[in-house]
Amino acid sequence: MLQFPLGLWSDRFGRKKVLILTGIGGGIAFALLPLAGNHFKVTIVLLMIAGGLVGSFFSLGLSLAADILPRHLLPAANVVASFHFSIGSIIGPGIGGLLMQAGWGGGIFGLMGALYIVFGLLGLFFSPRQKI
């Protein structure tokens, strides 16, 4: 539901700005999940917000790559993004399981929230190079 509006906003306001805002917004939603406790409706709303915002990272990131990279490097950018997605899909559940085993069940959401917020804030310090 959010991928289409985020794409439109990235066309209008810039992909980097939208990626920064979705990273920070999704991170805040993930970080708030442990505070939802047993409130089912709050948990569902926070998961919808977080998933909707960060679920568009792959497509928005590749769109940003298309804006800043030379055309011949786009397939390589897609491969690198796929590798990162795969590595996160393999490592993430293991880290989550370790945190739950250690008794910090909501810790995975706090960790994900912090990492997304850091990602968004790091975007403020880097500017893309112009196309060659």
Residue 56: what residue type?
S
pTM for the model stands at 0.83
The string of DSSP letters for 64-87 reads HHHHHS-GGGHHHHHHHHHHHHHH
Alpha helix (H) ranges present in the chain? 3-13, 15-36, 40-54, 57-68, 74-101, 107-122
Residue 95 domain-assigned (yes or no)? yes
Domain assignment present for 115? yes
Q: Please provide the average confidence, as pLDDT, over all residues in the chain.
A: 88
Instruction: Determine, yes or no, domain membership for 14.
Output: yes
> How far apart, in Å, are the Cα atoms of 16 and each of 51, 63, 85, 132?
19, 10, 19, 19
Which residues constitute the domain of residue 73? 3-122
Q: Is residue 35 part of a domain?
A: yes
Tens-place pLDDT, residues 10-51: 999 999 999 999 999 999 999 999 898 889 999 999 999 999
**According to the model, what pLDDT value does residue 4 have?**
87
Instruction: Judge whether 26 lies within some domain.
Output: yes
Question: Residue 112: inside a domain, yes or no?
Answer: yes
Q: What is the pLDDT of residue 49?
A: 93
Q: Would residue 130 count as lying in a domain?
A: no
pLDDT for res 129: 61
Structural domain tally of the chain?
1
